[in-house]
Structure 1
């Protein structure tokens, strides 16, 4: 019902319509949201976004998505059990999130059970086996990066003792590192001790201290949260390390010989783009050197240039042919 005073109803109505139109234009200009399928994005992390390795990479990827697609993003730390993950997914669903990243292989099991309950959400996890239609598992095949880093370690060791401190036995970069060391230096003695947790810094440091005491002069701490503290300990002792996930040369380029890198932040942006376009496949998708997601980090200036050139040539050959130096 229209209420008019002094016969001005038509003029007033036109004025109101004009004001509403202007407000609509201004609102759309100031809040231009994404026009594709991507609405809101959630991230679940087992430990912290401040670990300077795996967790930090995931957080950077989330920020890239926010910047590029102008959508709301959310993250939760300490998501390390089924019950907390269930609550987080329910909360994200209520917020209108339609793309959730579980930042680690742990979420493969959780998402396998939860995804049928949330058909309007697409779930992404890592190094798992996705079987449901709204789940994608990103397989990071880092065997080759481990192999090339192992070659570096085998070349640079002085004591012929190299220690590997992985989180789990299944990590492909660990097997690759072992094979790379053996290819480069048949006299090298390797010691592998598993932490059985990506975030147990105390146990990883204890293993590192034992290895250092037994004259292991190069350590490869392949774990999300413990790579940095182990490298810092190695640096204190004047020894060498191989970085993990990020280019960790900034911790000391005369300590960190190179790093096995996983460009997870780039992968976040890539998968979000595909989802936005309706092109993200369910199931398992594998990434290696050829995708520029897996790579080797900065080489230490203490490594001879001739050897660096040799490694770079081997990497280029692998990209082109898929063949490693021992094949």
Structure 2
């Protein structure tokens, strides 16, 4: 039996929603009973929900986010027959695993697309936290494409839409015309504002082409739902490793999304070729040219 803990709600059209879709896929593809718990936003709540899940027969628990790595690290030894899985945190020990998306690459290729479509040669990232590797990747990809200047601003949390919109307005004053709202809890209102202003955006986590029409040039997609099934299947087979596991384009769980109709064919081809080379060799365009 599989349980899922999320910090907020699954109605965010992003990170948490993808987790819920992954949970449903586990239920349908692996014929396993599943349980969802929303609003688990503190260690105390996490510990209480974990006890309830274990008492109900759950033996694989996903905590969908960085914070759960810490929560699980303090309690996993109390439940040796349960495997705990979190995202993007550092863990060690038996029966605990942290899954990491290699965000640098998706940010890099997103930055290439953004720079190719910027008329001002100024692009901007509205990120949640400095530790997000996709931020550095976006900056490097934009710089490689045409030496575009990349501005980075941090919201300080995943869900503060008001702060994110303030930062959007701040970046507009810097003449930024392509934006990367890299935060699952605020990307929707930011994309709406970008669309209203006639600028462009790079989608985040899911393929967000349906949010903004031609406004979304492409999206940096983490196929969280597919990874959930992969991990649950490995657990069923007794093959799920403890510790920190890393996934990238080569594993089929990171990709770019659909291209907007306004992105020229030559840009699409350049980006597609660069991704193909990266999958085969692990090299980025700036590394090939050294």
TM-score (norm 1): 0.86
Which residue does 1:30 correspond to in 2?
none
Give the superposition deviation at 1:223: 0.5
Which of 210, 216, 235 matches 2:176? 216
- Deviation at residue 284 of structure 1 after TM alignment: 1.0
Where does structure 2 lack aligned partners over 5 or more consecutive residues?
none
Residue of structure 1 in register with 2:199 after alignment = 239
Mean CA deviation greater in 122-131 or 58-67: 122-131
The count of corresponding residues between Structure 1 and Structure 2 is 287
Task: Please give the residue correspondences for 1:68-217 in structure 2 after superposition, counting only pairs within 5 Å.
Answer: 68-186=29-147, 188-217=148-177
**What is the distance in 2 between the residues matched to 1:57 and 1:226?**
15
Bigger Rg, which one: 1
Within a 5 Å distance, the mapping from 1:39-54 to structure 2 comes to 40-54=1-15
Match of 1:58 in 2: 19
Q: How far apart are residue 213 of structure 1 and its match?
A: 3.9
Deviation per residue, 1:11-68 (Å, 9 max, x gap):
xxxxxxxxxxxxxxxxxxxxxxxxxxxxx11111111111111010000000001112
Partners in 1 of 2:21 and 2:105 — Cα distance?
25
| Deviates most, 251-260 or 209-218 | 209-218
Query: How far apart, in 1, do the equivalents of 2:50 and 2:159 lie?
Result: 23
Equivalents in 1 of 2:17, 2:106: separation in Å?
A: 20
Question: Which runs of 5 or more residues in structure 1 are unaligned?
Answer: 1-39
Structure 1 residue 253 displacement after superposition = 2.9
2:110, 2:220 within 8 Å by CA — same for their partners in 1? yes
Aligned counterpart, 2:227: 267
Q: State yes or no: 1:286 paired with 2:246.
A: yes
Shift of 1:324: 0.4
Shift of 1:209: 2.2
Root-mean-square deviation over aligned CA pairs: 1.0
Shift of 1:210: 2.2
Where has structure 1 moved over 6 Å in runs of 4 or more?
none
Cα shift at 1:214: 3.7
SS of 1:253's equivalent?
helix
- Following the alignment from structure 1 to structure 2, what is the Cα–Cα distance between the partners of residues 78 and 222? 21
Q: For residues 177-234 of structure 1, give each alpha carbon's deviation from its aligned partner in whole angstroms, at most 9, with x where no partner exists.
A: 0000011121x22211111111111211111122224422111000111111111110
> Are 2:216 and 1:256 aligned?
yes
Deviations, residues 64-105 of structure 1 (Å, cap 9, x unaligned): 011122222111111111111111101101101000001011
In 1, the alpha carbon distance for the partners of 2:240 and 2:252 equals 18
Deviation readout 1:136-175 (Å, 9 max, x if unpaired): 1111102111111101111110122211111111111111
* Alpha-carbon contact 2:142-2:149 (below 8 Å) kept: no
Which whole-Å deviations, capped at 9, do the CAs of 1:286-311 have from their partners, x for residues lacking one?
Answer: 10110011111111110110111111
Alignment equivalent of 1:314, drawn from 259, 274, 280: 274
Q: 1:300 aligns with which of 241, 260, 270?
A: 260
Please state whether the residue corresponding to 1:244 is helix, strand or coil. strand
Q: How many angstroms apart in 2 are the aligned matches of 1:305 and 1:191?
A: 27
Residue 21 of structure 1 corresponds to which residue in structure 2? none
